[in-house]
Chains A and B, each alone.
Chain A
Amino acid sequence: MECVVQGIIETQHVEALEILLQGLCGVHRERLRIHELCLKSGPNLGLAASEVRLLCDLEQPEPTWTVRHIGGAMRGAGAEQIPVLVRTLNESKVSKNALRFFYSLGYKLDHELLRVGFAFHFQKGAQITVTVSSVNKMLKLHATDEAVPVTPGIQLVEVTAPASSENYTEVVAAVSSFCEYLAPLLHLSKPGVSTGVVPTAAAAAASLMSDGGGTTL
């Protein structure tokens, strides 16, 4: 399982967000460059349609591949009240022929994306990961070098943390309290519940930039 919230930020404020995150987490950012392929089952395969993602980490000297399956979100009145989406997530690192493998099983490429940005991994009540990335689409199949932004000027921010059925309430609490620190710059909500950019972003960014510039890190 994982807990997840998402938000968007204007690219002009990303640098300020990075300064804020750096200050909050106390760790250095990692560069992020992930080629994501979304595969869907062909028409005759399975009793219901299924979907699986292949993630190729292009930041590694030798690109590494991961298969990711995102399951259903937790439901019920309790789940609706919490500000974080809790969903099942399974991942497996795989050898580099994973795409050919899923094609052979009868899966088809639905779409592919390239996420470029940075990530922070740190422990703050839970093992939290914050990624800030621009989402790009490929004009030609698999041509990651010629990718263009899907939403120019806007980047996606995602906060995730692994959880289990035993500890998810604590993880939800940790994620939502962390999100409060980011509130002046961006608002984070459950995926699919878009809340747009926040009006205070410009002022908060200006303040962070002037402060960040004067502080030796």
Chain B
Amino acid sequence: MPIKWILHWQPNAGTTVNSQILTEVSQCAEGINGVKEGRWKATISFYRAITREQANANEFPRDFLGISLSELPSKYYLVIRGQRLVLEAESSIQTIMEKLQSYRTRVALNFEGNQYQLGDFQLRVGKVAPLHSESLRGIVMEMEYIPISSWEKSHQIMGEFFDLWQEALSKRSLPGHFVHIEPNFAEFGLSDQYTAQHTAVQYASIMAQMIATAQSVQPVRN
């Protein structure tokens, strides 16, 4: 499977994301000769333990995510980030989770947008919005390099392409920038050969980052 980096938009201090930034980022992808090639989508659900007493909730993971990817509709990924655990399952696992009545999905976020082809690279730019809502919560970008599936070997070319992209985007003077977080895949038991489980771990990482950012800009309440 080709390797990809998943990046998220980090707004400058005091600013928030808006649809104008998303438009400019999409224009930038077209501006560097990206050929628009249809849509892509990923969905992330947050699972929470169902407990009889609220006090018991802390016994159970609070960073448990379910991830579906439009390129692999028959699969579903479950990630418990704190425990460095990623499970690959068939999509029917969602029904099993429902039947067990031990965890329920609290919130679901859609990541969706356009896909652009640039030679051997594929760029996917999209918005992050709650299910059944248009409100923009973030911007995400998938950067895929088709010829290589080794994380290590692709590092240099991905870094160079990312620099190029940053440079193109900087001309638009947007109030923020894309951030690349590199999870320690080995901790999750994943090898250097890229798989969809690597994608799931990256989504879980940017999710954690986006939540941390959102919480840090919220006013402190007494």
Contacts and interface: CB of A to CB of B under 8 A. Distances in A.
B87 A46 contact: no
B99 to A, nearest CB: 5
A95 B75 CA distance: 11
Interface in B154-191: 189
Nearest to A43: B56
Chain B binding surface, main DSSP class: mixed
Contact of B85 (A47, A97, A107): A97
Nearest to B47: A105
B46 interface: no
A183 interface: no
B50 A47 contact: yes
A109 to B, nearest CB: 16
B83 interface: yes
B1 interface: no
Interface string A10-46: 0000000000000000000000000000000110111
B84 to A, nearest CB: 10
A93 B102 CA distance: 20
Interface in B13-62: 49-53, 56, 59-61
A107 B78 CA distance: 16
Interface residues of A, number: 27
A180 interface: no
Given A47-B52, A106-B60, A67 B99 contact: no
Contacts of A41: 100, 102
A91 interface: yes
B99 A71 contact: yes
A54 to B, nearest CB: 11
A48 B53 contact: no
A105 B90 contact: no
A91 B92 CA distance: 7
A94 B103 CA distance: 18
B126 to A, nearest CB: 27
A215 interface: no
A67 B50 contact: no
A201 B11 CA distance: 77
B87 A105 contact: no
B87 A101 contact: yes
A107 B61 CA distance: 12
A69 B56 CA distance: 25
> Which of B53, B80, B91 gathers the greatest number of chain A CB atoms within 10 Å?
B80
Nearest to B55: A44
B59 A44 contact: yes
A202 interface: no
B49 A106 contact: yes
A213 B91 CA distance: 47
A67 B102 contact: no
Contacts of A98: 87
B211 interface: no
Contact of A46 (B80, B90, B102): B102
A90 B92 CA distance: 7
B96 A69 contact: yes
Contacts of A154: none
B87 A44 contact: no
Contact of B53 (A44, A90, A92): A44
A179 B157 CA distance: 63
Interface of A: 41-42, 44-48, 50, 52, 67, 69, 71, 88, 90-95, 97-98, 100-101, 104-107
10 contacts: A44-B56, A45-B59, A46-B101, A92-B76, A92-B93, A93-B89, A95-B87, A97-B87, A105-B60, A106-B59
Given A45-B56, A90-B95, 13 more contacts: A47-B50, A50-B102, A52-B100, A90-B99, A92-B89, A92-B91, A95-B86, A101-B78, A101-B85, A104-B61, A105-B80, A106-B60, A107-B102
